Structure 1
């Protein structure tokens, strides 16, 4: 019951943020970045919650197999830490965040489809949260498009990061391991997106670098 209540509160909070992106006419850059960074933070929290749901019954699966270099987004050259991110121009940071988010359109659709029949005791909960993850990612993507439009053409460039898998395997272990692996990659990337947006928010507010 506590887990369901926590999920409901998270869903309501993110729904409010999603609605805030519906109309952004007259909204300044600082407010847009604040909304985007709040939504990206919720997105990362939801992906962490989903990972914990999977690990609750199958802790060995995925964790030992997952290597960041195997994620389909690993070819994108991105800052390794906050200090590096602070040195990247604003338009490039936004492009990186948008490229990472766009690269998860197909993988999240696959996870959403597979979650309906995933051989896991928490399948119903995982299915619900996976669909939320997909919806919230689409909402954040729309918000970042509006940000890119306000920042100008230099922020609209995107890197192509194709995803070629169309299934997670046939046997139970493969499906669980591949689901976990993809989710772990998304959790890693959602943290990067959240970090980039917080740096952008910090710069827009003209805060000192050490305060970011």
Structure 2
């Protein structure tokens, strides 16, 4: 029985909610640094175990993004404004990316493009999350737990990006794309909206991030399924 599991059981309840990102970060290492401080091809870790670790990281990021979105919603978004967001033309920043969306498209996409889709989504959110941290710091009554969750997700997203890069090299035996999608003009920082619009903008960011992290988790689990049971992954 693992020490991590025992520790998690011991601290059930409210403290577990606050501490579990730290616990899982220590229990499930993802990075494989080489002697120069970069990322090697992780020769000591099998492709299967590396994929498992990447999936575990994606699951945790999605769970924290879901909690962050719900917490922000409860704190700052009255119910009528939640309906307004659903009815208004708020667009996710990753909508322009060539990511499969329908069930048919996802089932037909190759393993290569599943991985590249994951990488595009991860990279496209790195800068917006940094921006989100800076805007949340300006809220007078933003709870510390929300700020900590956002910071944790931002850090773990970079770790996930590194893991996906190594996984692509292992599975596809190819060098990675040099362009990072976070550098594209997907997100604008120069607009200074009124407070209500600012809240809705942040709410949209959190909602879209939650949706995209769910896509990342789904794509990785589909990839895992294809490695073990190619013909029964519907």
TM-score under structure 2 length normalisation: 0.78
Unaligned runs of 5+ in 2: 1-11, 34-41
1:160-171 correspondence runs (5 A): 160=181, 161-166=184-189, 169-171=192-194
Q: Secondary structure at the match of 2:128?
A: helix
Kept in 2, the 8 Å contact 1:39–1:140? The answer is: yes
| Structure ID, larger Rg | 2
Q: Does 1:142 align with 2:165?
A: no
Match of 1:210 in 2: 232
User: What is the 5 A alignment of 1:102-181?
Assistant: 102-119=123-140, 121-150=141-170, 151-153=172-174, 156=177, 160=181, 161-166=184-189, 169-181=192-204
> CA 1:84/1:210 → structure 2, altered by over 3 Å: closer, same or farther?
farther
Aligned to 1:77: 98
Query: Kindly tell me: are residues 167 and 9 of structure 1, through their superposed partners in 2, closer, same or farther at Cα, counting changes over 3 Å?
Result: farther
User: Is the 2:58–2:216 Cα contact (8 Å) retained in structure 1?
Assistant: yes
Cα RMSD after superposing both structures: 2.7
Structure 1 unpaired stretches of 5+? none
Paired positions, count: 209
Give, in angstroms, the shift of residue 38 of structure 1. 1.0
Give the TM-score, by structure 1 length.
Answer: 0.85
